Amino acid sequence: MTFRWTLAAPMLLAACSTQPAVPDASEAYVRLAAIPGRPAAGYFLLHGGAKDAVLVGAEAPGAARAELHTSRRTGNGMASMDSIARVAVPARGRVAFAPGGQHVMLFGLPASVAPGSTLPLTLRFADGSATLVAARVIAAGDAAPE
C-alpha cells in the first residue's frame, strides 16, 4: 500500500502560513486590586491579523463594565489613567497591554474571580469581530505570570 503525501504536504504548509483575519491575544492576565471592590486590570499581547484592526472594547463575564485605559505620569510623579475609545492594531503588528501603559480596567468583578482562577476576556474590534482570550487571575502583589 502506498501513501500519497505529495498532495497533502503543500496544503498543510499553506494553512500554516495564512494569517488569521482577526487579531488574537496571548499572555493574558488580570491583576486584582489590593483593596476589595476596586477595579482590576487586564493585560495581554495583541497580535495583528491579516488586516489593520481597531480595538474598541472589552468584556468579561460578571464584570459590571470594562474600559480601555492608558496610564500616564502626571507632572508631580503620580500615576493617572485616561479612558481611551480606540486602540489601533496594525496588520501583523504587536500591541502590548502592560502595567504602566494600556490596560483593560474591569469594574465590579464578582468575588468568584479570585487568584488562581481564569477569566475569559472578549476583545471587540471596530469591524464587529471579536477575539476571546483566557486571562489568569493573580493577586495585587503577584508578579506577572511567565
Binding site for Cu ion (CB under 5 A): 69, 81, 105
What's phi and psi for 45, nearest 5 deg? -115, 125
Count other C-beta atoms under 10 Å from residue 83's C-beta: 9
Nearer to Cu ion, 31 or 48 (CB): 31
Please give the residue whose beta carbon sits closest to Cu ion in the complex: 69
CB of 83 to Cu ion, least distance (A): 8
CB of 71 to Cu ion, least distance (A): 7
CB of 50 to Cu ion, least distance (A): 30
- How far is it, in rounded angstroms, from Cα 27 to Cα 105? 17
Nearer to Cu ion, 22 or 45 (CB): 45
Nearer to Cu ion, 81 or 126 (CB): 81
Nearer to Cu ion, 31 or 69 (CB): 69
* Residue 95 three-state SS: strand
AA identity, residue 54: V
Strands 94-97 and 65-73: unpaired
Nearer to Cu ion, 17 or 80 (CB): 80
- How far is it, in rounded angstroms, from Cα 104 to Cα 12? 36
CB of 53 to Cu ion, least distance (A): 22
Q: What are the Cα distances from residue 16, in Å, to 12, 76, 91, 127? A: 6, 50, 17, 25
CB of 10 to Cu ion, least distance (A): 48
Residue 50 has which C-alpha cell? 491579516
